[in-house]
């Protein structure tokens, strides 16, 4: 499966999935081989006598068999510079000498796998244990319990990518770009993304305190948020303007409900013969790749929507079909720094092909591709495998999409329910 996006408290991420049995199956085989090693000789290793040292010691039959299998795994997957025996040396030390016995072997094992992925130092590559992987799948279905915000790592800080509409996150005043310094009393410096998600999520009715730093503030502030059941309404639309002749479509996420609801909205809008159309992608953190492409498909005919770049010489183009029913309707796209991943793909494509005018603020800049692999025990690995480029070759990751007309939404605008970005779009389409 492919993700466009990072970890998600709103829809997680990501969330940009496309079923795919990929090159990472070989890594999956490695993890399963390691699991087989553990199950085959755990007794001999963990209760064996003697110290771990440079001195040779008698080995049990189970340990000898495990080493043979371990060497076979190393030969296929590891370089000569990696001695995988060190893994078992540390495992044995922890099991025999750590004061907090008994040690949970399952947590120990999952933690070791998480460490493999974390060593990549990529905020979007994570290992998910079975429980977390299940929560992730629930989020993708569009309903879960939490605060309703997408989070990610930006500039080495836990960051609110986007609070979703009508969620506790939005109602509490969280904004895209807020830096999260603490979750309750837990300092988030160097925090793993999956840990942050687990700390913020929780049962309906419970409370979480986020200490955040925001642009323009002199010191951090604490925001208390009561968790709730989050149901993501992917698509909303209405007619706006003085004459109610401009169609306004708000897409909050690209999940499994987005495409049918978007198609239905377009069918109804076209019967009204709108003068123009406003596509609002503000605070949309992304979602399924194929859904984002199908949305762009309504404006772009038989052209490239996005390019997936695997390396210097490897790339794949994703093209639109012959279904551009909106190509002749004057369109404006609204974006902000909470527009990420799939939102940036749609925005970049419409901008490159001059199918829309972009208004708002520079987008988040999340343009990497994650491959999602389910493992046999229900756990999963999400790995970055590529980057996205716009049709004209612009890099999305860390660069974002710069609007044609830049208009910021100020704190005063927010507090007084003013929306100068939407106002400008209506003004331009009314002329």
CATH at residue 222: 2.30.42.10
Q: What is the pLDDT of residue 139?
A: 62
**Domain with 28 in it:** 23-122
Q: Is the pLDDT of residue 16 over 60?
A: no
Q: How is residue 405 written in tokens?
A: 């007309």
Q: What is the distance, to the nearest Å, from the Cα of residue 114 to the centroid of all Cα atoms in its chain?
A: 17
Q: State whether residue 279 is helix, strand or coil.
A: strand
Lowest mean per-residue pLDDT among 72-81, 181-190, 325-334: 72-81
In a shared domain, residues 227 and 298: no
Per DSSP, which regions of 221-352 are E strands? 221-226, 228-231, 235-240, 246-251, 276-280, 304-309, 315-319, 331-335
Strands (E) located in 174-213: 179-183, 186-187, 207-213
Let me know if residue 291 belongs to a domain. Answer: yes
pLDDT tens track for 337-386 = 999 999 999 999 999 999 999 999 999 999 988 888 899 999 999 899 99
Within a domain: 169: yes
Asked if 45 contacts 63 with a C-beta cutoff of 8 angstroms, the reply is yes
Judge contact between 414 and 427, C-beta under 8 A.
no
Cα pseudo-dihedral 346, 349, 353, 354, rounded to 10: 50
Residues 205 and 247 in one domain: no
Residue 13 in any domain: the answer is: no
* β-pairing verdict for 276-280 and 246-251: parallel
Q: Is the pTM of this model over 0.75?
A: no
State pLDDT tens for residues 250-283.
Answer: 999 999 899 999 999 999 999 999 999 999 999 9
Q: Is residue 6 part of a domain?
A: no
Are 149 and 96 part of one and the same domain?
no
Q: How confident is the model at residue 93 (pLDDT cuts 50, 70, 90)?
A: very high
Question: 3-state class of 237 per DSSP?
Answer: strand
Compare 193 and 325 and report the one with higher pLDDT.
325
Residue 102 lies in a domain: yes
> Do 191 and 73 lie in a common domain?
no
Domain termination residue (choose one: 74, 93, 122): 122
Last residue of a domain, one of 93, 122, 151: 122
Number of domains the chain is built from: 3
pLDDT-derived band of residue 287, with 50, 70 and 90 as boundaries?
A: confident
Residues 399 and 263 in one domain: yes
Q: What is the largest CA-CA distance in the chain?
A: 88
Look up the CATH number of the domain holding residue 243: 3.90.226.10
pLDDT reported for residue 17? 33
Active site positions, annotated: 341, 352, 366
- Higher-pLDDT residue of 414 and 401 is 401
Q: Is the pLDDT of residue 148 over 70?
A: yes
The answer to whether residues 149 and 114 belong to one domain is no
Radius of gyration of the chain (CA): 24
Supply the pLDDT for residue 19. 32
Q: Are residues 239 and 340 in the same domain?
A: yes
The pLDDT of 200-213, averaged and rounded, is 94
The percent of residues in the chain predicted with pLDDT above 90, rounded, is 58
203: exposed, middle or buried (Cβ count in 10 Å: 0-12, 13-18, 19+):
exposed
28 in a structural domain: yes
Pair 247, 363 in one domain: yes
CA distance 132 to 130: 6
Domain boundary among the residues 231, 265, 295 is at 231
76-80 mean pLDDT: 69
Instruction: Judge if 216 and 278 occupy the same domain.
Output: no
Task: Say if residue 97 is in the same domain as residue 164.
Answer: no
Q: pLDDT of 48-68, one tens digit each?
A: 222 222 333 344 444 444 554
Sign, Cα dihedral of 345, 348, 349, 350: positive
**Distance (Å, rounded) from C-alpha 391 to C-alpha 404?**
17
The DSSP element (H or E) to which 350 belongs, if any, is helix 342-352
Inside any domain, residue 16: no
Give me the DSSP letters along 124-184.
T-EEE-HHHHHHHHHHHHTEEEE--EEEEEETTEEEEEEEPTTSHHHHTT--TT-EEEEET
Question: pLDDT band at 144, cuts 50/70/90?
Answer: confident
Q: Within this chain, do residues 79 and 61 fall inside the same structural domain, yes or no?
A: yes
269 and 377 in a single domain? The answer is yes
Q: Is the peptide bond before 101 cis (omega within 30 degrees of 0)?
A: no
Q: What is the pLDDT of residue 363?
A: 97
Which band of pLDDT confidence, cut at 50, 70 and 90, is reported for residue 242? very high
Q: Is residue 274 part of a domain?
A: yes
Task: Tell which residue, 168, 230, 158, 155, has the closest CA to residue 199.
Answer: 158
DSSP of 371-428? EEEE-TTS-EEEEEEEEEE-TT--B-TTT----SEE----HHHHHTT--HHHHHHHHH
Which has the minimum average pLDDT: 31-40, 193-202, 225-234?
Answer: 31-40
| Cβ(192)–Cβ(260) below 8 Å | no
Instruction: Indicate if the pLDDT at residue 293 is higher than 90.
Output: yes
What's the rounded Cα separation, in Å, for the pair 420 and 410? 9
């Amino acid at each position: 499966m492919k993700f466009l996006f990072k970890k998600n408290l709103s829809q997680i991420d990501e969330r940009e999935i496309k079923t795919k049995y990929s090159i990472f199956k070989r890594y999956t085989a490695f993890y399963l081989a390691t699991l087989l090693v553990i199950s085959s000789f755990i007794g001999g290793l963990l209760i064996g006598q003697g110290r771990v040292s440079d001195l040779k010691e008698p080995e049990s039959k189970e340990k000898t068999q495990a080493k043979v299998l371990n060497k076979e795994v190393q030969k296929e997957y590891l370089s000569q510079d990696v001695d995988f025996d060190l893994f078992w040396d540390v495992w044995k030390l922890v099991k025999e000498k750590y004061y907090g016995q008994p040690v949970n072997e399952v947590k120990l094992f999952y933690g070791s796998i998480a460490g493999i992925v974390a060593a990549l130092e990529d905020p979007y590559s994570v290992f998910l244990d079975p429980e977390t992987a299940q929560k992730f799948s629930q989020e993708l279905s569009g309903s879960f319990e939490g605060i309703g915000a997408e989070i990610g790592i930006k500039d080495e800080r836990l960051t609110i990518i986007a609070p979703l509409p009508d969620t506790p996150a939005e109602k509490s005043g969280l904004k895209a770009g807020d830096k999260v310094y603490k979750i309750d009393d837990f300092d988030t410096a160097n925090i793993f993304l999956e840990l942050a998600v687990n700390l913020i999520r929780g049962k309906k009715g419970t409370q979480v305190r986020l200490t955040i730093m925001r642009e323009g503030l002199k010191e951090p502030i604490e925001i208390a948020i009561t968790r709730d059941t989050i149901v993501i309404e992917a698509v909303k639309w209405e007619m706006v303007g003085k004459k109610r002749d401009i169609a306004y479509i708000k897409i909050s996420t690209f999940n499994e409900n987005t495409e049918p609801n978007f198609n239905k909205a377009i069918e109804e809008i076209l019967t009204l013969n709108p003068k123009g159309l406003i596509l609002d992608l503000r605070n949309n953190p992304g979602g399924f790749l194929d859904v984002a492409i199908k949305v762009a498909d309504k404006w772009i005919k038989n052209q490239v929507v996005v390019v997936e770049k695997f390396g210097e010489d490897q790339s794949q183009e994703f093209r639109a079909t012959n279904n551009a029913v909106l190509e002749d309707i004057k369109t404006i796209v609204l974006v902000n720094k909470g527009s990420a991943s799939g939102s940036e793909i749609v925005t970049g494509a419409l901008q490159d092909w001059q199918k829309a005018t972009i208004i708002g603020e520079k987008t988040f800049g999340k343009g990497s591709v994650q491959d999602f692999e389910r493992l046999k025990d229900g756990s999963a690995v999400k790995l970055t495998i590529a980057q996205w480029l716009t049709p004209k070759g612009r890099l999305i990751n860390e660069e974002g999409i710069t609007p044609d007309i830049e208009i910021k939404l100020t704190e005063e605008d927010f507090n007084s329910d003013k929306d100068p970005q939407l106002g400008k779009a209506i003004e331009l389409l009314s002329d």
